[in-house]
Amino acid sequence: MTATLATLVIFIAPGLLLVAALGGKRGVSLTLGEQLYLSVAGSLVISCWVGLGLAGLGRFAPENVAALVAGLVALFLFVARKQRRDLFPALRAHPR
């Protein structure tokens, strides 16, 4: 179970935030294929750099990479919320 959650965090979470940060209200408009590619590729790039840093410190393990990436994602969401930046406008309920 831990490995499954670690895989989801490593392969999806950072990339989704990257796509959301690029999209936003007045951001870049991306097609669905570009969003999928950027979310997976962006997640892998970010997670690889985190893993490389942990390996340099002698602390590499998939769970450690996933925990640090999840912490960075949470920090990014916290900072975006403090700046009142709406990263996911499509998820907001629209008044009728």
Q: Which two tokens stand for residue 32?
A: 């669905």
pLDDT of residue 57: 95
Question: Residues near 63 by Cβ (< 8 Å), separated by ≥ 6?
Answer: 2, 3, 6
Percent over 90 (pLDDT), the chain: 31
pLDDT of residue 90: 55
pLDDT digits (tens, 9 = 90+) for 35-65: 889 889 999 999 999 999 999 999 998 889 8
- Which pTM value belongs to this model? 0.74
Could you give the CA distance from residue 47 to residue 85 in angstroms, rounded to a whole number? 24
